[in-house]
Amino acid sequence: MNRDTRLSDVLHVLLHMDQVDEPLTSEVLARSMGTNPAVFRRTMAGLRDAGFVRSGKGHGGGWQLARPLRQISLLAVYEALGRPNFFAIGNRSQHTDCLVEKNVNAIMADTMAQAEALFAKRFGEITLDEIAPRQPVSVSVHAEA
Protein backbone atom coordinates (compact mmCIF):
# COMPACT_ATOMS: atom_id res chain seq x y z
CA MET A 1 0.00 0.00 0.00
CA ASN A 2 1.31 3.44 -0.92
CA ARG A 3 1.60 5.96 1.87
CA ASP A 4 0.17 9.44 1.52
CA THR A 5 3.13 11.69 2.32
CA ARG A 6 1.45 15.01 1.51
CA LEU A 7 1.18 16.08 5.15
CA SER A 8 4.83 15.36 5.85
CA ASP A 9 5.86 16.96 2.54
CA VAL A 10 3.85 20.12 3.17
CA LEU A 11 5.09 20.47 6.75
CA HIS A 12 8.64 20.22 5.45
CA VAL A 13 7.98 22.91 2.84
CA LEU A 14 6.26 25.25 5.31
CA LEU A 15 9.17 25.00 7.75
CA HIS A 16 11.63 25.79 4.95
CA MET A 17 9.48 28.72 3.84
CA ASP A 18 9.77 30.13 7.35
CA GLN A 19 13.57 30.22 6.96
CA VAL A 20 13.54 32.81 4.16
CA ASP A 21 12.07 36.25 3.66
CA GLU A 22 11.73 36.15 -0.11
CA PRO A 23 9.21 34.10 -2.10
CA LEU A 24 10.27 30.60 -3.19
CA THR A 25 9.23 29.36 -6.61
CA SER A 26 7.03 26.34 -7.23
CA GLU A 27 9.98 24.72 -9.01
CA VAL A 28 12.28 25.00 -5.98
CA LEU A 29 9.63 23.88 -3.49
CA ALA A 30 8.38 21.05 -5.73
CA ARG A 31 11.92 19.69 -5.82
CA SER A 32 11.92 19.50 -2.03
CA MET A 33 8.72 17.42 -2.20
CA GLY A 34 10.10 15.20 -4.94
CA THR A 35 7.31 16.18 -7.32
CA ASN A 36 6.67 18.51 -10.21
CA PRO A 37 5.54 22.15 -9.92
CA ALA A 38 1.97 21.48 -11.12
CA VAL A 39 1.41 18.81 -8.45
CA PHE A 40 3.01 21.10 -5.89
CA ARG A 41 0.64 23.96 -6.78
CA ARG A 42 -2.41 21.66 -6.54
CA THR A 43 -1.22 20.39 -3.16
CA MET A 44 -0.68 23.93 -1.85
CA ALA A 45 -4.04 25.26 -3.09
CA GLY A 46 -5.86 24.22 0.09
CA LEU A 47 -3.23 25.91 2.25
CA ARG A 48 -3.55 29.09 0.21
CA ASP A 49 -7.36 28.94 0.53
CA ALA A 50 -6.97 28.49 4.31
CA GLY A 51 -4.76 31.60 4.46
CA PHE A 52 -1.56 29.84 5.54
CA VAL A 53 0.43 30.71 2.40
CA ARG A 54 0.21 33.19 -0.43
CA SER A 55 1.58 32.98 -3.92
CA GLY A 56 2.54 35.53 -6.51
CA LYS A 57 3.08 35.16 -10.24
CA GLY A 58 5.77 36.53 -12.49
CA HIS A 59 9.22 37.92 -11.79
CA GLY A 60 9.80 38.00 -8.04
CA GLY A 61 6.76 35.81 -7.46
CA GLY A 62 6.58 32.59 -5.57
CA TRP A 63 5.28 31.16 -2.32
CA GLN A 64 5.49 32.71 1.15
CA LEU A 65 3.95 32.09 4.53
CA ALA A 66 0.92 34.28 5.09
CA ARG A 67 1.01 33.98 8.88
CA PRO A 68 3.47 33.02 11.59
CA LEU A 69 4.09 29.34 12.29
CA ARG A 70 2.71 29.76 15.82
CA GLN A 71 -0.70 30.43 14.25
CA ILE A 72 -0.76 27.18 12.23
CA SER A 73 -1.51 23.84 13.88
CA LEU A 74 -0.74 20.40 12.50
CA LEU A 75 -4.50 19.78 12.48
CA ALA A 76 -5.15 22.91 10.42
CA VAL A 77 -2.62 21.79 7.80
CA TYR A 78 -4.13 18.29 7.75
CA GLU A 79 -7.59 19.80 7.22
CA ALA A 80 -6.32 22.18 4.52
CA LEU A 81 -5.04 19.14 2.64
CA GLY A 82 -8.59 17.75 2.59
CA ARG A 83 -8.18 15.39 5.56
CA PRO A 84 -6.20 12.61 3.84
CA ASN A 85 -7.25 9.10 4.86
CA PHE A 86 -6.06 8.47 8.36
CA PHE A 87 -6.43 4.69 8.28
CA ALA A 88 -6.32 2.19 5.47
CA ILE A 89 -8.36 -0.21 7.58
CA GLY A 90 -11.93 -0.80 6.45
CA ASN A 91 -14.89 -3.10 6.86
CA ARG A 92 -15.61 -6.02 4.55
CA SER A 93 -19.10 -4.72 3.96
CA GLN A 94 -21.13 -1.80 5.28
CA HIS A 95 -24.48 -3.43 4.50
CA THR A 96 -24.61 -6.91 5.90
CA ASP A 97 -27.20 -9.18 7.42
CA CYS A 98 -24.53 -11.14 9.32
CA LEU A 99 -24.67 -10.38 13.07
CA VAL A 100 -20.98 -11.21 13.51
CA GLU A 101 -20.00 -8.76 10.79
CA LYS A 102 -22.30 -6.10 12.25
CA ASN A 103 -20.55 -6.50 15.61
CA VAL A 104 -17.12 -6.35 13.99
CA ASN A 105 -18.13 -3.23 12.04
CA ALA A 106 -19.49 -1.54 15.17
CA ILE A 107 -16.37 -2.12 17.28
CA MET A 108 -14.08 -1.10 14.43
CA ALA A 109 -16.08 2.09 13.79
CA ASP A 110 -16.04 3.00 17.48
CA THR A 111 -12.33 2.31 17.87
CA MET A 112 -11.43 4.23 14.71
CA ALA A 113 -13.56 7.19 15.83
CA GLN A 114 -11.73 7.25 19.18
CA ALA A 115 -8.34 7.07 17.44
CA GLU A 116 -9.28 9.89 15.06
CA ALA A 117 -10.49 12.03 17.98
CA LEU A 118 -7.18 11.50 19.79
CA PHE A 119 -5.28 12.30 16.59
CA ALA A 120 -7.29 15.51 16.07
CA LYS A 121 -6.85 16.57 19.71
CA ARG A 122 -3.10 16.06 19.68
CA PHE A 123 -2.57 17.60 16.23
CA GLY A 124 -4.68 20.59 17.29
CA GLU A 125 -2.33 21.18 20.22
CA ILE A 126 0.87 21.33 18.16
CA THR A 127 1.77 24.45 16.21
CA LEU A 128 4.41 24.53 13.51
CA ASP A 129 6.72 26.77 15.51
CA GLU A 130 7.08 23.87 17.96
CA ILE A 131 8.59 21.63 15.27
CA ALA A 132 10.63 24.29 13.49
CA PRO A 133 14.41 24.03 13.85
CA ARG A 134 15.79 26.35 16.51
CA GLN A 135 18.74 27.26 14.29
CA PRO A 136 18.54 28.54 10.72
CA VAL A 137 18.68 25.74 8.17
CA SER A 138 20.11 26.05 4.72
CA VAL A 139 17.26 26.65 2.33
CA SER A 140 19.04 25.18 -0.65
CA VAL A 141 15.97 23.02 -0.79
CA HIS A 142 17.30 19.57 -1.49
CA ALA A 143 15.71 16.92 -3.67
CA GLU A 144 15.77 14.21 -1.01
CA ALA A 145 14.12 16.33 1.67
106-130, pLDDT tens digit by residue?
999 999 999 999 999 999 999 999 9
pLDDT at residue 58, rounded to an integer: 83
For residue 125, the surrounding DSSP H or E stretch is: helix 99-125
**Closest residue by Cα to residue 6 from 89, 81, 116, 79:** 81
pTM: 0.82
Fold annotation for 6-86? Arc Repressor Mutant, subunit A (1.10.10)
HSE-CB for 19 with a 13 A CA cutoff: 19
Residues in CB range of 9: below 8 A, 6 or more apart: 32, 33, 34, 35, 43
Give the type of residue at 84: P
pLDDT tens, residue order, the chain (145 aa): 577 888 999 999 999 999 998 999 999 999 888 899 999 999 999 999 999 999 998 888 899 999 999 999 999 999 999 988 777 788 888 778 899 999 999 999 999 999 999 999 999 999 999 999 887 766 554 444 3
Does residue 74 sit in helix, strand or coil?
Answer: helix
